[in-house]
Amino acid sequence: MRDRIYIKDLKDNVGKEIIIAGWVDVRRDQGKMVFFDMRDMTGRVQCVALPSRAEVIEKAKKIRPEWVLKITGLVNKRPPKNVKAGVLNGEVELEVTGVEVLAEAEPLPFDMSEAGYNLELTTELDNRALVLRHPKVQAVFKVQETIIDSFRQFMKQNMFFEFQSPSITPAVAEGGSEVFKIDYFDKKAFLTQSPQLYKQIVMTAFERVFSVNKIFRAEPSATTRHLTEVVSLDAEMAFIDGWEDVRDMAEGTVKFILEKIKEKNAGELVLLKAELPVMIEKTPTFSLQEAQQKIFDNFARDVRGEKDLNPQDERELCEIVKKETGSDFVFVYGYPTIKKPFYVYPNPKNPEFNEGMDLLCRGLEWLSGGRRINKYDQLMEHVKLWKMDPQKIKMFLEAFKYGVPPEGGFAFGAERITMQLLGLKNIREACMFPRDMERIDERLSE
Ligand code: AMO
């Protein structure tokens, strides 16, 4: 539509007659006048139909939410008492001189106005296509876009090469049963749980690599923080001096993402009443054993010697660190080697524990990573110990036959980080089309 201007630009056109196009948000009749808000991809504006324009008022009385209109109108300054400071178009309104209906809409199944909108998550997901039009829902995905975009930007700034990882794989990289088996012609294959093995292969050729790819996990539980299909932001880097280099790169990545959100999404953060987590100059780091000791000292709960942190441990550790340092983030490293995937590097001084790490924030794991085994013989020992079929990961093993520098990497889920950053209660709110045990678009029970 060539003659249209965007709603965000109305304030620069005071006194002019212009054309906008978009959707009707709400209509309010006041005496003989009709007010309605119009919305396009850049914002909203209040439109006024005056009784002196008979044809306009006639049409305005018919319009309903979500009708698509092309509006001709005069951009007027609002009377001083009606000015809404700090809001887009808070100082102007559009006096409608012409209305063209481009599309009508069925009556809405629920109130979509900003004030009235308060849906249960299930209703929201059952009506995803319509609900995506709501500014609060859009705000979540605008922040998510910044997260993915700034991850890419930071990786590229640091000389990481972007590659595309496959989604069909012959082997299970992360172990466990959380994997979808698929019929692959007359054979069996899997949906990729993680681009782990592929990012390591590509790293052996390109040094620093990253990918933004879908991963699939057959999570049998219906928790508020797990999906079966996730956007995974993955990085892998060669020539590290130790796992701490990987930690620092992960910390730098998250810091950059937070800065970009502050810069680009101030409006969305206000709309969602979200407060970004605090990342201090140097994020505190504890070994698993130190973390467990802290929980014992602060909460008199003895989890020392456990193989991992459980959800309560994660919450308590984050609480302690917040109180002690002001940081919402904490790194935990050094998990029992045998409990983690075969590729994680065992600590040479104490091989029972590995050099894998997690980044926790506000009581939940955000990101995992660490140093990997880079020597072929050691890798083969682990392949045997972990009872893996070397034939199934032949391509991965081949890469490590031919000289690989010390290396490591990390990964995090775009939905998990969106949820945590915005303080959402359920990861499904941070995924446009969430897949879980109970839903693939429609509820599976139906
Ligand atoms: P891990 O299995 O810990 O590590 O996953 C890394 C990150 O991915 C996200 N994530 C999920 N988000 C939502 N729903 C899920 N079911 C889900 N599973 C994982 C989380 C998590 O921190 N290969 C390693 C990473 C590495 O070492 O580089 C891996 O996959 O944010």
Write the pLDDT tens digit of every residue in 45-71.
999 999 999 999 999 999 999 999 999
299: enclosing H helix or E strand? helix 288-299
**CA-CA distance, 435 to 182, in Å (whole number)?**
17
Band (pLDDT 50/70/90 cuts) for residue 248 is: very high
**CA-CA distance, 269 to 262, in Å (whole number)?**
8
| pLDDT tens figures, 371-416 | 999 999 999 999 999 999 999 899 999 999 999 999 999 999 999 9
166: enclosing H helix or E strand? none
Atom nearest to 410 CA in ligand 1: 28
Beta-strand runs (E) in 55-127: 68-77, 92-103
Amino acid identity at 290: E
**CA-CA distance, 356 to 366, in Å (whole number)?**
14
| pLDDT tens figures, 213-226 | 999 999 887 899 99
Atom nearest to 235 CA in ligand 1: 28
Q: Which residue has the higher pLDDT, 146 or 85?
A: 146
State percent of the chain over pLDDT 90. Answer: 90
Span of 114-128, 277-291, 307-321 with lowest mean pLDDT: 114-128
> Among 323, 347, 321, 348, which residue's Cα sits nearest to residue 334?
347
> How far is the centre of ligand 1, averaged over its atoms, from the C-alpha of 149 (Å)?
19
Nearest CA to ligand 1 atom 11: 413
Mean pLDDT of 11-39: 95
Band (pLDDT 50/70/90 cuts) for residue 305 is: very high
> How far is the centre of ligand 1, averaged over its atoms, from the C-alpha of 383 (Å)?
21
Going from the C-alpha of 256 to that of each of 61, 157, 340, 367, 430, the distances in angstroms are 49, 11, 29, 15, 20
Atom nearest to 199 CA in ligand 1: 28
- Which residues does 157 contact at the CB level (< 8 Å), separation at least 6? none
Atom nearest to 372 CA in ligand 1: 27
Band (pLDDT 50/70/90 cuts) for residue 140 is: very high
Atom nearest to 196 CA in ligand 1: 23
pLDDT exceeds 80 at position 242: yes
With a Cβ cut-off of 6 Å, ligand 1 is lined by 174, 194, 196, 217, 219, 226-227, 230, 232, 365-369, 409-413, 415-416, 427
118: enclosing H helix or E strand? none
Nearest CA to ligand 1 atom 9: 413
Find the DSSP H helices in 300-413. Answer: 311-325, 376-385, 394-401
Q: Are 330 and 318 in contact (CB under 8 A)?
A: yes
Going from the C-alpha of 247 to that of each of 234, 252, 342, the distances in angstroms are 13, 9, 20
Band (pLDDT 50/70/90 cuts) for residue 86 is: confident
> How far is the centre of ligand 1, averaged over its atoms, from the C-alpha of 311 (Å)?
15
**CA-CA distance, 41 to 23, in Å (whole number)?**
10
Q: Are 336 and 353 in contact (CB under 8 A)?
A: yes
**pTM reported for the whole predicted model:** 0.95
pLDDT exceeds 90 at position 82: no
pLDDT exceeds 80 at position 173: no
> Among 377, 383, 384, 381, which residue's Cα sits nearest to residue 400?
377
Length of the chain: 446
> How far is the centre of ligand 1, averaged over its atoms, from the C-alpha of 59 (Å)?
53
Beta-carbon count within 10 A of 289 CB: 13
Burial class, 444, CB count within 10 angstroms (exposed 0-12 / middle 13-18 / buried 19+): exposed
Mean pLDDT of 2-19: 96
pLDDT of residue 15: 97
pLDDT of residue 300: 95
> How far is the centre of ligand 1, averaged over its atoms, from the C-alpha of 98 (Å)?
53
Amino acid identity at 110: F
Phi and psi at residue 33, to the nearest 5°: -95, 155
pLDDT of residue 431: 98
> How far is the centre of ligand 1, averaged over its atoms, from the C-alpha of 215 (Å)?
9
Mean pLDDT of 153-166: 98
Nearest CA to ligand 1 atom 15: 226
Q: Which residue has the higher pLDDT, 112 or 22?
A: 22
Q: Are 179 and 218 in contact (CB under 8 A)?
A: yes
pLDDT exceeds 80 at position 117: no
Mean pLDDT of 111-133: 89
Let me know the angle formed at the C-alpha of 216 by 211 and 218, rounded to the nearest 5 degrees. 155
Which CATH number is 7-103's, of 2.40.50.140, 3.90.180.10, 3.40.50.11440, 3.90.1200.10? Answer: 2.40.50.140
Let me know the angle formed at the C-alpha of 169 by 168 and 174, rounded to the nearest 5 degrees. 120
Mean pLDDT of 329-336: 98
Question: Based on C-alpha coordinates, what's the Rg of the chain?
Answer: 27
Q: Which fold has domain 129-443?
A: BirA Bifunctional Protein; domain 2 (3.30.930)
> Among 42, 126, 122, 53, which residue's Cα sits nearest to residue 89?
42
Q: Which of 368, 407, 436 to mutate to test the pocket of ligand 1 (most atoms within 8 A of CB)?
A: 368
pLDDT exceeds 80 at position 233: yes
Going from the C-alpha of 72 to that of each of 3, 6, 76, the distances in angstroms are 10, 12, 13
pLDDT of residue 174: 73
- Which residues does 324 contact at the CB level (< 8 Å), separation at least 6? 284
Query: Could you give the strand order of the β-sheet that contains 442-443, starting from the edge strand earlier in sequence?
Result: 435-436, 439-440, 442-443
Mean pLDDT of 234-260: 98
Supply 163's token pair.
């590659």
pLDDT exceeds 90 at position 22: yes
Nearest CA to ligand 1 atom 10: 413
Beta-strand runs (E) in 88-180: 92-103, 161-162, 168-169
pLDDT of residue 154: 98
Q: Which of 172, 194, 211, 216 to mutate to test the pocket of ligand 1 (most atoms within 8 A of CB)?
A: 194
> Among 365, 6, 41, 373, which residue's Cα sits nearest to residue 196?
373
> Among 167, 160, 309, 277, which residue's Cα sits nearest to residue 230?
167
Nearest CA to ligand 1 atom 28: 410
Mean pLDDT of 4-8: 97
**CA-CA distance, 47 to 187, in Å (whole number)?**
61
Amino acid identity at 176: G
Find the DSSP H helices in 179-229. Answer: 196-206
Mean pLDDT of 89-118: 91
> Mean pLDDT of all residues in the chain?
95
The dihedral sign for the CA sequence 214, 217, 221, 226? negative
| pLDDT tens figures, 197-216 | 999 999 999 999 999 999 99
Mean pLDDT of 104-131: 90
pLDDT of residue 171: 79
Q: Are 228 and 219 in contact (CB under 8 A)?
A: yes
| pLDDT tens figures, 358-374 | 999 999 999 999 999 99
> How far is the centre of ligand 1, averaged over its atoms, from the C-alpha of 368 (Å)?
6
pLDDT of residue 265: 96
**CA-CA distance, 279 to 326, in Å (whole number)?**
8
> How far is the centre of ligand 1, averaged over its atoms, from the C-alpha of 410 (Å)?
9
Atom nearest to 417 CA in ligand 1: 31
> How far is the centre of ligand 1, averaged over its atoms, from the C-alpha of 87 (Å)?
39
Domain segments of the chain: what residues?
7-103, 129-443
